[in-house]
Amino acid sequence: MILTQTTEISLKTQMEDFAAYNQWANKTLVDWLKTKPVEVFTKNIPSSFPTLQKTLMHIWDVEQGWIARLQGMATKSFTWEGFDGTLEDIIEGLLEQSENTALYVQALTEDELMGDCFFSIPYVGDHTVSRYEILQHAFCHSIYHRGQVITMGRNLGFTDAPMTDFMFYLLRVKRALHD
Protein backbone atom coordinates (compact mmCIF):
# COMPACT_ATOMS: atom_id res chain seq x y z
CA MET A 1 0.00 0.00 0.00
CA ILE A 2 1.45 3.35 -1.04
CA LEU A 3 0.76 6.10 1.47
CA THR A 4 1.91 9.06 -0.58
CA GLN A 5 -0.46 11.21 -2.57
CA THR A 6 0.54 11.68 -6.21
CA THR A 7 -2.17 14.13 -7.20
CA GLU A 8 -2.56 17.65 -5.93
CA ILE A 9 -5.13 18.09 -3.17
CA SER A 10 -7.08 21.31 -2.91
CA LEU A 11 -7.03 23.48 0.17
CA LYS A 12 -10.78 22.88 0.47
CA THR A 13 -10.26 19.12 0.62
CA GLN A 14 -7.55 19.52 3.24
CA MET A 15 -9.72 21.75 5.42
CA GLU A 16 -12.72 19.44 5.02
CA ASP A 17 -10.50 16.52 6.09
CA PHE A 18 -9.31 18.43 9.15
CA ALA A 19 -12.87 19.46 10.07
CA ALA A 20 -14.11 15.87 9.73
CA TYR A 21 -11.11 14.65 11.75
CA ASN A 22 -11.78 17.25 14.46
CA GLN A 23 -15.41 16.15 14.68
CA TRP A 24 -14.45 12.47 14.85
CA ALA A 25 -11.66 13.04 17.40
CA ASN A 26 -13.90 15.09 19.71
CA LYS A 27 -16.62 12.42 19.55
CA THR A 28 -14.08 9.65 20.13
CA LEU A 29 -12.66 11.48 23.15
CA VAL A 30 -16.11 12.23 24.60
CA ASP A 31 -17.29 8.65 24.07
CA TRP A 32 -14.26 7.46 26.07
CA LEU A 33 -14.84 10.01 28.82
CA LYS A 34 -18.49 8.99 29.15
CA THR A 35 -17.28 5.59 30.40
CA LYS A 36 -15.61 7.25 33.40
CA PRO A 37 -17.15 8.10 36.78
CA VAL A 38 -18.78 11.53 36.71
CA GLU A 39 -16.88 12.72 39.79
CA VAL A 40 -13.53 12.63 37.93
CA PHE A 41 -14.65 15.51 35.69
CA THR A 42 -14.39 18.01 38.54
CA LYS A 43 -11.33 16.53 40.25
CA ASN A 44 -8.36 18.93 40.30
CA ILE A 45 -5.47 17.74 38.13
CA PRO A 46 -2.44 19.92 37.33
CA SER A 47 -2.76 21.07 33.71
CA SER A 48 -3.62 24.20 31.72
CA PHE A 49 -7.13 23.99 33.17
CA PRO A 50 -7.68 22.42 36.58
CA THR A 51 -10.33 19.83 35.65
CA LEU A 52 -11.41 17.65 32.75
CA GLN A 53 -14.71 19.54 32.66
CA LYS A 54 -13.01 22.93 32.36
CA THR A 55 -10.66 21.62 29.68
CA LEU A 56 -13.57 20.29 27.60
CA MET A 57 -15.38 23.59 28.06
CA HIS A 58 -12.27 25.45 26.88
CA ILE A 59 -12.01 23.33 23.72
CA TRP A 60 -15.66 24.08 22.94
CA ASP A 61 -15.36 27.75 23.89
CA VAL A 62 -12.37 28.46 21.68
CA GLU A 63 -13.71 26.57 18.68
CA GLN A 64 -17.04 28.37 18.82
CA GLY A 65 -15.23 31.69 19.25
CA TRP A 66 -13.10 31.24 16.14
CA ILE A 67 -16.01 30.03 14.03
CA ALA A 68 -18.09 33.02 15.19
CA ARG A 69 -15.26 35.35 14.14
CA LEU A 70 -15.06 33.64 10.74
CA GLN A 71 -18.80 34.14 10.28
CA GLY A 72 -18.60 37.79 11.31
CA MET A 73 -20.62 37.18 14.46
CA ALA A 74 -20.00 38.50 17.95
CA THR A 75 -18.08 36.06 20.11
CA LYS A 76 -19.28 34.97 23.52
CA SER A 77 -16.67 33.45 25.77
CA PHE A 78 -17.35 31.27 28.80
CA THR A 79 -13.97 32.38 30.10
CA TRP A 80 -15.12 35.99 30.39
CA GLU A 81 -18.89 35.64 30.75
CA GLY A 82 -19.13 32.49 32.85
CA PHE A 83 -20.94 29.22 32.30
CA ASP A 84 -23.55 27.67 34.56
CA GLY A 85 -24.41 24.61 32.49
CA THR A 86 -23.89 20.97 33.30
CA LEU A 87 -21.24 18.51 32.17
CA GLU A 88 -23.78 17.11 29.74
CA ASP A 89 -24.33 20.62 28.34
CA ILE A 90 -20.58 20.92 27.75
CA ILE A 91 -20.36 17.54 26.03
CA GLU A 92 -23.39 18.24 23.83
CA GLY A 93 -22.11 21.74 23.05
CA LEU A 94 -18.67 20.48 22.06
CA LEU A 95 -20.08 17.79 19.78
CA GLU A 96 -22.61 20.18 18.22
CA GLN A 97 -19.93 22.81 17.64
CA SER A 98 -17.66 20.24 15.97
CA GLU A 99 -20.49 19.27 13.63
CA ASN A 100 -21.31 22.92 12.89
CA THR A 101 -17.64 23.62 12.18
CA ALA A 102 -17.50 20.74 9.69
CA LEU A 103 -20.66 21.99 7.97
CA TYR A 104 -19.27 25.53 7.87
CA VAL A 105 -16.05 24.34 6.23
CA GLN A 106 -17.99 22.27 3.68
CA ALA A 107 -19.97 25.37 2.70
CA LEU A 108 -16.85 27.47 2.02
CA THR A 109 -15.36 27.77 -1.44
CA GLU A 110 -11.63 27.60 -2.10
CA ASP A 111 -11.59 31.37 -2.59
CA GLU A 112 -13.42 31.94 0.69
CA LEU A 113 -10.90 29.73 2.50
CA MET A 114 -8.09 31.85 1.05
CA GLY A 115 -9.93 35.06 1.92
CA ASP A 116 -8.94 37.25 4.81
CA CYS A 117 -10.79 37.61 8.06
CA PHE A 118 -10.36 40.59 10.37
CA PHE A 119 -10.59 40.04 14.12
CA SER A 120 -9.67 41.72 17.35
CA ILE A 121 -8.43 40.00 20.49
CA PRO A 122 -8.34 41.96 23.75
CA TYR A 123 -4.78 42.58 24.91
CA VAL A 124 -3.41 41.27 21.58
CA GLY A 125 -4.82 43.69 19.04
CA ASP A 126 -6.41 43.79 15.60
CA HIS A 127 -5.35 41.27 12.98
CA THR A 128 -6.20 40.03 9.51
CA VAL A 129 -5.55 36.35 8.77
CA SER A 130 -6.83 33.99 6.08
CA ARG A 131 -9.82 31.82 6.97
CA TYR A 132 -7.91 28.60 6.39
CA GLU A 133 -5.15 29.68 8.79
CA ILE A 134 -7.73 30.47 11.46
CA LEU A 135 -9.28 27.05 10.89
CA GLN A 136 -5.86 25.41 11.13
CA HIS A 137 -5.29 27.20 14.42
CA ALA A 138 -8.68 26.14 15.79
CA PHE A 139 -8.08 22.50 14.84
CA CYS A 140 -4.53 22.47 16.24
CA HIS A 141 -5.77 24.10 19.43
CA SER A 142 -8.30 21.31 19.89
CA ILE A 143 -5.64 18.67 19.17
CA TYR A 144 -3.40 20.19 21.84
CA HIS A 145 -6.09 20.16 24.51
CA ARG A 146 -7.39 16.69 23.58
CA GLY A 147 -3.85 15.53 24.32
CA GLN A 148 -4.06 17.24 27.69
CA VAL A 149 -7.35 15.47 28.43
CA ILE A 150 -5.70 12.12 27.66
CA THR A 151 -2.77 13.00 29.95
CA MET A 152 -5.15 14.13 32.70
CA GLY A 153 -6.96 10.82 32.35
CA ARG A 154 -3.66 9.00 32.60
CA ASN A 155 -2.95 10.91 35.83
CA LEU A 156 -6.30 9.63 37.12
CA GLY A 157 -5.17 6.06 36.39
CA PHE A 158 -7.02 5.54 33.10
CA THR A 159 -4.97 3.40 30.72
CA ASP A 160 -7.56 2.83 28.00
CA ALA A 161 -7.42 6.15 26.16
CA PRO A 162 -8.56 6.08 22.54
CA MET A 163 -6.29 6.72 19.58
CA THR A 164 -7.17 10.13 18.15
CA ASP A 165 -4.12 10.80 15.95
CA PHE A 166 -4.78 12.32 12.53
CA MET A 167 -2.89 9.50 10.79
CA PHE A 168 -5.03 6.92 12.59
CA TYR A 169 -8.08 8.81 11.37
CA LEU A 170 -6.78 8.86 7.78
CA LEU A 171 -5.79 5.19 7.68
CA ARG A 172 -8.54 3.57 9.73
CA VAL A 173 -11.54 5.86 9.81
CA LYS A 174 -11.58 7.90 6.59
CA ARG A 175 -10.50 4.98 4.43
CA ALA A 176 -13.12 2.73 6.01
CA LEU A 177 -15.79 5.26 5.09
CA HIS A 178 -14.69 5.16 1.45
CA ASP A 179 -14.13 1.40 1.10
138: CATH:
1.20.120.450
- Say how many C-beta atoms besides its own lie within 10 A of residue 60's C-beta: 24
In a domain, 72, yes or no: yes
In a domain, 127, yes or no: yes
In a domain, 64, yes or no: yes
> Given this model, what pLDDT does residue 81 score?
74
Cβ-proximal residues to 152 (8 Å cutoff; 6+ apart), any chain: 45, 47, 52, 55
How many whole angstroms separate alpha carbon 111 and alpha carbon 114?
A: 5
Q: How many domains are contained in the chain? A: 1
Which residues of the chain are modeled with pLDDT < 70? 1-7, 79-80, 179
> Given this model, what pLDDT does residue 77 score?
78
Please tell me the pTM assigned to this model.
0.91
In a domain, 133, yes or no: yes
> Given this model, what pLDDT does residue 134 score?
97
> Given this model, what pLDDT does residue 150 score?
97
In a domain, 6, yes or no: no
In a domain, 9, yes or no: no
The rounded Cα 131 to chain-centroid distance in angstroms is: 16
In a domain, 105, yes or no: yes
Structural domain boundaries enclosing 60: 19-178
In a domain, 1, yes or no: no
Nearest to 67 by CA among 111, 27, 97: 97
Please list the residues that pair with 127 across neighbouring strands: 119
Nearest to 25 by CA among 156, 166, 171, 179: 166
For residue 147, what is the enclosing H or E element? Answer: helix 131-155
